[in-house]
Each structure stands twice: as structure tokens, then as C-alpha cells.
Amino acid sequence: MLLLTVFAFACKSNTTGQEAVEEGPIKISLAQWSFNKEIKSGEMNNQEFIRKAAEMGFGGVEYVNQFFKDKADDFIFLDSLDAVAEEVGVEQLLIMIDGEGSLADPDQLVRADAVENHKKWVRAASYLGCHSIRVNLNGSGTKEEMRDYAVEGLIDIGEYAAEQGVNIIVENHGGYSSNGAWLADVIYRVKMENVGTLPDFGNFCEERESGKCTKEYDKYQGVKELLPYAKAVSAKSHDFDENGNETTIDFERMISLVKDAGFHGYIGVEYEGNDISAEEGIKLTKQLIEKHLN
């Protein structure tokens, strides 16, 4: 109770629900995963990431909890992020959560444990003024069984997040969640204003064997199905041709889908390639989004 009281007095003002995608021009943010190699190696820290995002012309940042997994309740650390973001004029938008348990696990006790594990990140997001945390729907069972488990898990964490003024958003991130129709149906059944999606332009592999995708969902259909519930969008990129076009994803088609859906939030750059530097890949992705937005 004491911890919750502290948060109640300390939280920054933040946007929730429909406010996360309020009317206005689409903006571009930078997902921290784009610099995952640099951060993992120690070449870049979390505060430097924020400064780099501002230097590269981004209006917002999207954090990844893997890069500060023991800092959710560390107010000194969170204040250091907040101070840098305020100094350089960058919005702190969301935290992508991994490694905190399965919200769609068939075991109710395991799901409950996962919900508890995610609560500290809801509080951290609220403290920083982020509008959302991104969660995954890991579990097992048939499509129908996992759908029902996922609905229960999302309602449980969604109710807590609503009290903190935070959205819970689900990314297509493997397994059934990479089936756009399945994930859209889950969110529809949850029926909560603060529970939505984070459509990723990639990540539509439903099944893998030996590291290779053996069953892929149509990425354009999937993004279209998830956009009605979107509170953020992730522009995944890997490789580029000599004209600066992404070789695996038709960005013109994807951005058209985003605009046609009436989305008004942030599109986050998430570069995952290996053939060029992270900074160059980020710049090319940002340029592609700007080209097709205009």
C-alpha cells in the first residue's frame, strides 16, 4: 500500500486510452531495440539512447525493459531517464516488456504470477508518463483455449493498468499472436478501452522450425486487422536496396494502411538489420516513413 501511495503522489501526467492516438499528425518515435547491440555491449546506455534519439530528430522514445530489468522500482534511475527526456524534449511513450511470465498460460496460477510481475512495469510507465506497456501473449493450447486464457490475463492486468492511467498493448510477436485475426479477436473480447494492440510490420511468423519460419501470416492483412485497436505502430525494417527501399516490407503499402485506418499516434522505428550500422538503418527507416506519410 505504501508503494502505491508513493506512486500516486510521484507520477507524471500521462496520456491514456484514446489520448494515446489523439487527432493530429502522425509522429515518429525510436524503439530502443534498434540499438540493442550497442546497449548490450555497453557502448550506449539508456540515457545516451534518449539523447541519440533526439539528435536524430525523433519526437518520442520506446523503451525495452530488458535493458533495465532490475530498475522498475528504482526511482533514482527512472528520474534520470525523465530528466534527460525533458532536457532534450523527447516524449517517453511506452515500455516493451519481456521475460515477466505468460499472460496466456493455461495454468491460472502462472497467469496470476505473470500479472503480478507486469504490475511493477505498469507503475514504472505511469511514473515516466508513458501511455502504454507492450506485453506478449505466450502460452499453450488450442487457438480457442489460448484465446480465452489471453482474454483473462489481459483483463486482469488491464484493470490494474487502468487505475494507473496506462494502456496494455499487445504486439504480434510469434505463435498465435502473429495471426492478425486471432489477436484482433482477443482484443475485441477483452472490451477494455485501455487494452489494445501494437501492430508490427514484421513479426508475422506463426510457426518456426530450426530457427526458420515455416508458416507466415500475411503481414499486410495482419496489420490491417490490428490497426483498429492500435495505440502505437512498430515499423520493423531489416534490409534496404540501392534506392533506400526496405526489401522485405512494402513501406508504401504499410503506411497507406496506417493512414487509411485513421491512426494518429506514433510510428516507432525498429531497425533489426545486420548489413549496415544501426544508425544508418534507423535513418533509412525514418526516411521511408516520412516519404510515404507525405
| Domains of the chain by residue range | 21-293
In this prediction, residue 210 has a pLDDT band, given cuts at 50, 70 and 90, of: confident
pLDDT in tens, 161-192: 999 999 999 999 999 999 999 999 999 999 99
17 Rama sector, left if φ>0, alpha if ψ -120 to 50, beta otherwise: left
Residue 226, all three cell numbers: 490490428
Percent of the chain residues past pLDDT 90, beyond the cut: 89
Indicate whether this model's pTM tops 0.95. no
Percent of the chain residues past pLDDT 70, beyond the cut: 92
pLDDT in tens, 131-148: 999 999 988 999 999 999
Residue 206 has pLDDT above 70, yes or no: yes
Say yes or no: domain 21-293 is CATH 3.10.20.30.
no
pLDDT in tens, 55-65: 999 999 999 99
pLDDT in tens, 232-288: 999 999 999 999 999 999 999 999 999 999 999 999 999 999 999 999 999 999 999
In this prediction, residue 23 has a pLDDT band, given cuts at 50, 70 and 90, of: low
Residue 204 has pLDDT above 60, yes or no: yes
Please say whether the dihedral angle defined by the alpha carbons of residues 20, 21, 25 and 31, taken in this order, is positive or negative.
positive
**Closest to 177 (Cα-Cα) out of 157, 199, 158:** 199
Give counts: helices (H), strands (E), the chain. 10, 10
The predicted pLDDT at position 4 comes to 40
